[in-house]
Amino acid sequence: MAAVLIFLQIGTGLLLKFVYVPTPLGAYKSILVLSHSVMFGRLLRNIHHWGANFLVLIIFLHMLRVFFTGAFHPPRQFTWVVGLGLFSLVLTANFTGYLLPYDQLAYWAVTVSTGMLEYIPVVGGLLQEIIRGGNEIGPATLNIFFAIHTAVVPMGLIILMAFHFWRIRKAGGLVIPKAPGEEIEERPNRVPTMPNLLLRELVVTVVIIAVVMLVSVSFDAPLGNSANPGLSPNPTKAPWYFAGPQELLLHLHPVFAVFIIPLVLGVALMGIPYMKYDTDAAGVWFVSVKGRRITLIAAVIVIIAAPMGILADEFLIDFVARLHGVPAIIGNGVIPFALIFLGCAGFYILIKHRYSATSSEVVQAIFVLILFVFLILTITGIWFRGPGMKLTWPF
């Protein structure tokens, strides 16, 4: 599905390029022309828009499937790392594409998110200037984003995707599913690719294209007013796939939310396949029966604790910090970070001693903790934040 959607993006993207004009004055107008005067123009834009959204969702699910079946274990470690590279490229594609219509949504979301780069120590300012092509969002930014979006990203995607598939074949195909503790010597029941696999892939292709088509004829891609640097909308929200990090930023000092946590998580994600594991869990869903139970416990803990944490931070903790005159980097950075770390350590001790968890089960449990925190932050950011980014009800 991910591969089909990428080819769909490249196909529709190439067609969009015939009409799209990458200048601040021309961009918005060209989207209007596309939507109103070009035959099937609006449908084309809708397919590109919804395809991009589905792609993020499907890659995320693919990553979860790979993780929870332990398909990152040898010899598939590097396939996982290449996958992470693909994920970053797709996020880059979405982020750079977001600016292209040059409407209010685009202008302000990109202003706010590139503004965050300032908080990266030492190189942040320079990085921001390079990405924006100057001090603020303008013609140079649009030019840079357009070049990255329509040349660098597609080239990178094609190369990495080929590499991904080659690695999968080098590893002897997909991981063999097995029950906990079962030893499998040989690949069972081989069948010819044609027609067995090909037919299934064809069905998947047709179904995913049909779904994207159905959504695209039913819902138009959003388009705000033309970009106005003098008028910022309230609230200025990031696109939904960045709602989690944006929500985190409301709770933690930017140095932690923008730099330290993403860095730690990125390194940890890449390191997952290279850790030392004491059991062979490749191909077993959730490692073991016990692993499944621990995973469930981790999820329940976060589902209860994370919303409480968000509420406490909204109504209690900031108040305490202000009351005692604690510097922001400590009150909103070091203290909550230490609390999160202690929480994880406490959980580690619990599952290690109470359940004598193996290293695979421990890594899986911590992954689930972080995954659910991320999901809850994302849900809160998308549906429970209103004007001034205050907590509100979604309806």
DSSP state, residue 234: S
Nearer to ligand HEM, 5 or 255 (CB): 5
Q: Which of 2, 110, 238, 373 binds ligand HEM (CB under 6 A)?
A: 2
Q: With the CA atoms of 257, 263, 264 and 265 taken in that order, what torsion angle do they form, in degrees rounded to the nearest 10?
A: 80
- Number of other CB atoms surrounding residue 134 within 10 Å: 14
How many positions of this chain bind ligand HEM (CB under 6 A)? Answer: 46
DSSP characters for 70-90?
TTTSTT-HHHHHHHHHHHHHH
One-letter amino acid of 286: F
Q: Which of 168, 261, 268, 350 binds ligand HEM (CB under 6 A)?
A: 168
Inter-axis angle of helices 193-218 and 2-17, to 10 degrees? 50
One-letter amino acid of 255: V
Question: Could you tell me how far CA 74 lies from the centroid of its own chain?
Answer: 25
Backbone angles phi, psi at 119, to 5 degrees: -80, -5
Nearer to ligand HEM, 32 or 311 (CB): 32
Question: Cβ 97 to ligand HEM, closest distance in Å?
Answer: 2
Nearer to ligand HEM, 67 or 337 (CB): 67
Subset of residues 237 to 296 that bind ligand HEM, contact rule: CB under 6 A? none
Question: Cβ 291 to ligand HEM, closest distance in Å?
Answer: 17
Residue 74's nearest CA partner among 274, 267, 316, 261 is 274
Is 90 a binding residue for ligand HEM by CB under 6 A? The answer is yes
Distance CA 334, CA 223 (A): 40
Is 86 a binding residue for ligand HEM by CB under 6 A? The answer is yes
Is 71 a binding residue for ligand HEM by CB under 6 A? The answer is yes
Distance CA 5, CA 380 (A): 28
DSSP state, residue 391: B
Residue written as token pair 């959980």: 347
Is 98 a binding residue for ligand HEM by CB under 6 A? The answer is yes
Question: Cβ 56 to ligand HEM, closest distance in Å?
Answer: 8
Q: Given the rule CB under 6 A, which of 82-90, 189-197, 290-298, 379-387 is the region that contacts ligand HEM?
A: 82-90
| 391: β partners | 385
Q: Which of 68, 79, 360, 382 binds ligand HEM (CB under 6 A)?
A: 79
Is 175 a binding residue for ligand HEM by CB under 6 A? The answer is yes
Question: Cβ 335 to ligand HEM, closest distance in Å?
Answer: 32
Q: Given the rule CB under 6 A, which of 87-95, 108-116, 287-295, 326-334 is the region that contacts ligand HEM?
A: 87-95
Is 221 a binding residue for ligand HEM by CB under 6 A? The answer is yes
Is 48 a binding residue for ligand HEM by CB under 6 A? The answer is yes
Q: Which of 24, 42, 49, 357 binds ligand HEM (CB under 6 A)?
A: 49
Three-class DSSP category at 253: coil
Is 83 a binding residue for ligand HEM by CB under 6 A? The answer is yes
Is 55 a binding residue for ligand HEM by CB under 6 A? The answer is yes
Decide if 313 contacts 104 (C-beta within 8 A). Answer: no
Is 9 a binding residue for ligand HEM by CB under 6 A? The answer is yes
- Number of other CB atoms surrounding residue 288 within 10 Å: 20
Is 13 a binding residue for ligand HEM by CB under 6 A? The answer is yes
Question: Cβ 148 to ligand HEM, closest distance in Å?
Answer: 10
Kindly state the greatest CA–CA separation across the chain.
70
Distance CA 106, CA 239 (A): 9
Decide if 232 contacts 107 (C-beta within 8 A). Answer: no
Residue written as token pair 């997952």: 272
Where do contacts with ligand HEM occur on this chain (CB under 6 A)?
2-3, 6, 9-10, 13-14, 16-17, 20, 31, 45, 48-49, 52, 55, 59, 62-63, 66, 71-72, 76, 79-80, 83-84, 86-87, 90, 93-94, 97-98, 100-101, 149-150, 154, 157, 161, 164, 168, 174-175, 221
